[in-house]
Amino acid sequence: MNESPASTPDGSDPGPEALAEALSAEHAAVYGYEFVGGAAGDEDRRERALDAAQRHKALRDTLRAAAVERGIDAPSALASYPLPEERGGGALDAFAIGVEETAARAYLWLAASADTGLRVTGARALQETTLRGLEWGGELDALPGFETA
């Protein structure tokens, strides 16, 4: 059975842990999109990737500020993240879709926060990441961020 992140095992607010998870996802997304922006062979993909990187940077900064404001430890970016081996358009698109799916799961978790501000941030970011996934050619699930049971 899949683990439910709607609350932690002791029933406490998942907000702090989910916020940290979302911030980690944003660090990876910024890294990933900057890679795509440099690796893509066509201008359309490069521009789309760099635009996405900027949007993820803004989200990253928002989450970091929220963590500081709430006294939550904000995870730092890692030195590197897994990248696709292939550099073709299809591979880069699939990689970008994966980045957004990871972010979607993190934001869905954040949407369970007892902190209304974090919850709405999570809900809004879930909408945004869903749209970016579509922009990269992803399919739209009935409930983005959820694993199908």
Partner 1 sequence: MGQVNGCVISRRTVLGAAVAGAAVAGLAACGEAEWYPADVTPDEYVLRSVIRDKERMVVRYEAAIAEGSGPAELLERLLGHHLTHMDALVESLPEDASPTAPADLADGEGDPPAEDPASGAAMDAAGLRLLESAATSARLDQAGSVSDPGLAQLISGIGACEAGHAYLLGRV
Q: List residues near partner 1 by CB under 8 A.
A: 1-7, 14, 17-18, 21, 25, 98, 101-102, 104-109, 111-114, 116, 119-120, 122-124, 126-131, 134, 140-149
Least distance from partner 1 to the Cβ atom of residue 29, Å:
12
Tokens read off for 16: 């702090």
- In contact, 21 and 73? CB cutoff 8 Å: no
Nearest to 103 by CA among 35, 46, 24, 47: 24
Least distance from partner 1 to the Cβ atom of residue 134, Å:
5
Residue 41 or 146: the one with the smaller Cβ distance to partner 1 is 146
Residue 79 or 142: the one with the smaller Cβ distance to partner 1 is 142
Amino acid residing at 65: A
Least distance from partner 1 to the Cβ atom of residue 58, Å:
18
Residue 145, Ramachandran bin (φ over 0: left; ψ between -120 and 50: alpha; else beta): left
Least distance from partner 1 to the Cβ atom of residue 122, Å:
7
Least distance from partner 1 to the Cβ atom of residue 3, Å:
6
Residue 41 or 114: the one with the smaller Cβ distance to partner 1 is 114
Residue 23 or 41: the one with the smaller Cβ distance to partner 1 is 23
- In contact, 122 and 82? CB cutoff 8 Å: no
What is the Cβ-side half-sphere exposure of residue 128, based on CA atoms within 13 angstroms?
15
Residue 41 or 76: the one with the smaller Cβ distance to partner 1 is 76
Separation CA 49–CA 43 (nearest Å): 10
What is the Cβ-side half-sphere exposure of residue 41, based on CA atoms within 13 angstroms?
7
